[in-house]
Amino acid sequence: MNVLETIRIGLQGIAANKLRSGLTMLGILIGVASVIVLMAIGNGASVAVTASIESLGTNTLTVRHGTFGGENDTTRTQFKDLTVDDAVALVDPVLAPDVVSATPVVTAATTCTFEGASYSTSVTGTWPSYFEASNSPIGTGTPLTADDVLNSRRSIVLGQTVISELFGDTDPLDRTVTCGGVPFIVVGTIEEKGSSGFLDADDVAIAPLSTVQSKLTGYGSLDSILVQASSSEASTAAESEVTSILDQRHGTTSEDNRDFQILNQAALISTVQDTIGIFTVLLGAVAAISLLVGGIGITNIMLVTVTERTREIGIRKAIGARKSAILTQFLIEAMVLSVIGGGLGVLLALLATRITIADVTPVIVPSSVIGAFVVSVSIGLFFGSYPANRAASLRPIEALRHE
Partner 1 sequence: MTPVIDLQSITKVYGAGDTEVQALRGIDLSIARGDYVAIMGASGSGKSTLMNIVGALDAATSGHYALDGIDIDDLDESALSIVRNRKIGFIFQSFNLIPRTSALSNVELPLVYRGVRRRERRARAITALESVGLGDRMHHMPNELSGGQQQRVAVARALVAEPSLLLADEPTGNLDSRSTADVLDLMGRLHDQGRTIVMITHEDDVAAQAGRVVTLVDGQISEDRRNRP
Q: Which is nearer to partner 1, 266 or 327 (CB)?
A: 327
182 to 221, contacts with partner 1 by CB under 8 A?
none
Q: Which is nearer to partner 1, 106 or 321 (CB)?
A: 321
Q: Which is nearer to partner 1, 5 or 256 (CB)?
A: 5
Q: Which is nearer to partner 1, 65 or 309 (CB)?
A: 309
The reply to whether 304 sits near partner 1 by the rule CB under 8 A is no
- 207 neighbors 183 (Cβ within 8 angstroms): no
The reply to whether 396 sits near partner 1 by the rule CB under 8 A is yes
Q: Cβ of residue 16: shortest distance to partner 1, in angstroms?
A: 5
Pairing state between β 182-190 and 138-141:
antiparallel
CA distance 20 to 10: 15
Which residues 6+ apart lie within 8 Å of 16 measured at CB?
Answer: none
Q: Which is nearer to partner 1, 322 or 351 (CB)?
A: 322
| Count of C-beta atoms within a 10 Å radius of residue 145 | 14
One residue of 2, 77, 78, 367 binding partner 1 per CB under 8 A: 2
The reply to whether 400 sits near partner 1 by the rule CB under 8 A is yes
CA distance 341 to 286: 19
SS (H, E, C) 13-80: HHHCCHHHHHHHHHHHHHHHHHHHHHHHHHHHHHHHHHHHHHCCCCCEEEEEECCCCCCCHHHCCCCC
Which residue in 20, 2, 80 sits closest to 259, CA to CA? 80
Q: x-or-dash pattern for partner 1, window 311-340, by CB under 8 A? A: xx-xxxxxxxxxxxx---------------
Residues binding partner 1: number (CB under 8 A): 23
Q: Which is nearer to partner 1, 272 or 400 (CB)?
A: 400
Which residue in 209, 213, 222 sits closest to 89, CA to CA? 222
The reply to whether 397 sits near partner 1 by the rule CB under 8 A is yes
Q: Cβ of residue 318: shortest distance to partner 1, in angstroms?
A: 5
Binding segment for partner 1 (CB under 8 A), chosen from 149-157, 176-184, 377-385, 394-402, is 394-402
Q: Which is nearer to partner 1, 286 or 318 (CB)?
A: 318
CA distance 66 to 31: 51
CA distance 133 to 59: 8
Give the binding site for partner 1 (CB under 8 A). Answer: 1-2, 5, 12, 16, 311-312, 314-325, 395-397, 400
